[in-house]
Structure 1
Amino acid sequence: MSIIIVNQGKDVTPWVKALRERRPELSLQVYPEITSTEDVEFALAWNHPPGAFKQFPNLKCISSMGAGVDHILRDPELPEAATIVRITDADLTKDMANFTLALVLNHVRGLSFYKTKEQAKEWKPQPYLRNENVTVGVMGVGVLGAEAALQLSKNGFNVIGWARTPKNIEGVQVYAGDDNLDAFLAQSDVLICLLPLTSETADILNKETFNKLPKGAFVINVARGQHLVDNDLVEMIDNGHLSGASLDVFREEPLPKDHVFWNHPAIHVTPHIASVTNPASAVAQVLENYDRLQRNEPLLNIVSLEKGY
């Protein structure tokens, strides 16, 4: 059995190195340099070319290189026999929690505001918010969202969550289902999107959603760019309903140089770096699923095609 690595446009050397170090005898191929299509039963993928997996007649498992799987599921020609799995890595989870905490603290203490004043050489002290007086709403409390909520709660913020189905997170009230979304939004001084990208969640960060937030609310998107309707965000900031946003993901990446987000004074941009999979840490989980596949055992972190995550 062979593993194929398919990662369009990115250097996969760290993955090859990590796999080779952990399992020197492993049969490994790197797309598009394929030596045998019949041998491939396991694929490790990120942003693969649509239809690329059709050429592997014995493919049984496709593993995402990260927590997200929308890049795999948008391919209409996925092999029906292949199980889709994703990575839930402790380092990945911790990095996301720390990053979201940093963004919320940056907002409540006005650090981005002071950076603009520094550049203009203006001495302009402003009132700031205290953690215990701020309610942070986390949309999507799966593995990443739950850890982010816990980290924020430990740092004194009032934290609430929203999910499609009920969840139990210590110290965090979780609102479940569409019927409870409005109540969740109405309390969220800071809204963090950590939802999986599905047909139901695409464009969920829109004008209708923003209008249900308290006046002056702040938006953080660290999930997928397709969750956000760009023009709606700009409009709601410019009309004063939202105080600003921190964005780490975008519909087009890299973000085009002429995009309005770059020069908007109330929008903080980072280049999709909130949480990056570390191959050295994640490769053990990949190999565990590879071994389970060989032993015909249940795989870890199977993705529901119906739910999209």
Structure 2
Amino acid sequence: MTSLESDKILLAVTGWDPEVWQTEFAKSAPKRKLVLDSEADKNDVRYALVWKQRPGSLMNLPKLEVIFSLGAGVDHVFHDTQIPDVPIVRIVSPDLTMRMSEYVVWQVLDHHRLGLRYREQQKQRVWHEDRRQPAAHEVNVGILGLGVLGRDAAQKLRTLGFRVSGWSRRLQTIEGVTTHYGKDGLKDFLKDVDILVCLLPLTPDTKNILSMNIFAQLKPEGPLGAPVLINAGRGGLQNEADILAALDRGMLSAVTLDVFNKEPLPKDSPLWTHPQVIVTPHAAASSSPQALVPEIVAQIESYERGEPLKNIVDKAAQY
């Protein structure tokens, strides 16, 4: 086993400022050297921290043992077709989980309490009192994806009084939540959803899942009118043309999108100006170096004590 001074940790990111990660590593692990892709001595890199790494940047690292994804999802890792055959670890952080649950609860409540309508009424200076608002227990929030993020969001929505259901690839059990799983369970899940929240990972099986096929299986009318869609997972999960068509046909009453097929969202996208669409700039659960670095360091230290890695990615499922 090599010494801490000779071990190097590669930071391979694009679109992020690497300096803040370097600063936090200097605080949490001063004896370990964090190097950038452009300056790395390939022979001494033992761990790699990645976010949308350059294709091929993880090749020719003879001592590489573990790859850590710096986001909740790992689809960005698999965009590189030259990934070494070493374990890939997902980040599971209480900070990241709380940020996502805050976002989901915020958007569910905004739609539930008619935020779009009231903001438009304020803009038009219209005072309209007679619209009935349903109670939370009348509204079923359905969560696509019951991993760590989905489970936490479900539990927080339950405390607010919403009926909550969920769907996942495999059977999950959550107290107070009606759960469905597998292809056979998807139809039963969709038919009772008033607000559909998508927190699925992006994999070959889930790409474009938010399409007309799904929207057509939602119940046409509920306490909020037509169903609402909230996607805080990945942009590749959604067919944006189908979302707009579903809104125009009344199959969806409103939509919140935090992620998009192309980011930043092009200025000419009709999603910007559609009156029933809320756009946020991939801000649901940002990775915080201050919160994540200590957890990564702790995971490395436990691994070096001979303990098993946590949250290892299933490479076949890409999640």
TM-score by length of 2: 0.93
Shift of 1:75: 1.4
Q: Distance in 2 between matches of 1:294 and 1:55?
A: 22
Other-structure match for 2:287? 277
Q: Distance in 2 between matches of 1:12 and 1:187?
A: 45
Q: Distance in 2 between matches of 1:132 and 1:12?
A: 45
Shift of 1:16: 1.3
Q: Is the contact made by 2:47 and 2:65 (CA closer than 8 Å) also made in structure 1? A: yes
Other-structure match for 1:258? 268
Other-structure match for 1:53? 58
Unaligned runs of 5+ in 1: none
Q: Quick check: 5-14 or 184-193, which moved more?
A: 5-14
Report 1:94-105 matches (<5 A). 94-105=98-109
Instruction: Kindly provide the CA deviation profile for residues 134-193 of structure 1, in whole angstroms up to 9, marking residues without a partner as x.
Output: 000000000000000001111000000000111111110110111010000001100000
Write the letter of the residue equivalent to 2:22.
Answer: V
Q: Distance in 1 between matches of 2:305 and 2:112?
A: 51
Q: Distance in 1 between matches of 2:307 and 2:266?
A: 45
Other-structure match for 1:305? 315
Say if 2:95 is the partner of 1:91: yes
Shift of 1:296: 4.5
Other-structure match for 1:228? 238
Other-structure match for 2:136? 131
Q: Distance in 1 between matches of 2:15 and 2:163?
A: 41
* Alignment counterpart, residue 109 of structure 1, candidates 109, 113, 116: 113
Identity between Structure 1 and Structure 2 (%): 38
* Alignment counterpart, residue 296 of structure 2, candidates 286, 294, 300: 286
Unaligned runs of 5+ in 2: 1-6, 221-225
Q: Quick check: 194-203 or 107-116, which moved more?
A: 107-116
Say if 2:221 is the partner of 1:211: no
Q: Distance in 1 between matches of 2:260 and 2:127?
A: 33
Write the letter of the residue equivalent to 1:121.
Answer: R
Other-structure match for 1:74? 79
Q: Is the contact made by 2:37 and 2:57 (CA closer than 8 Å) also made in structure 1? A: no
Shift of 1:58: 2.0
Other-structure match for 1:15? 21
Shift of 1:44: 0.6
The CA RMSD measured in Å over matched residues stands at: 1.2
Aligned length: 307
Q: Quick check: 275-284 or 67-76, which moved more?
A: 275-284
Q: Distance in 1 between matches of 2:93 and 2:54?
A: 25
Shift of 1:295: 4.0
Q: Distance in 2 between matches of 1:297 and 1:79?
A: 22
Shift of 1:28: 1.3
What is the SS of the residue equivalent to 1:246? Answer: strand
Other-structure match for 1:201? 206
Say if 2:155 is the partner of 1:145: no
Write the letter of the residue equivalent to 1:261.
Answer: L
Q: Distance in 2 between matches of 1:137 and 1:77?
A: 37
Shift of 1:293: 4.2
Instruction: Kindly provide the CA deviation profile for residues 235-276 of structure 1, in whole angstroms up to 9, marking residues without a partner as x.
Output: 011011110100101111111110010000001000111111
TM-score by length of 1: 0.96
Other-structure match for 2:126? 122
Q: Quick check: 4-13 or 181-190, which moved more?
A: 4-13
Say if 2:202 is the partner of 1:187: no
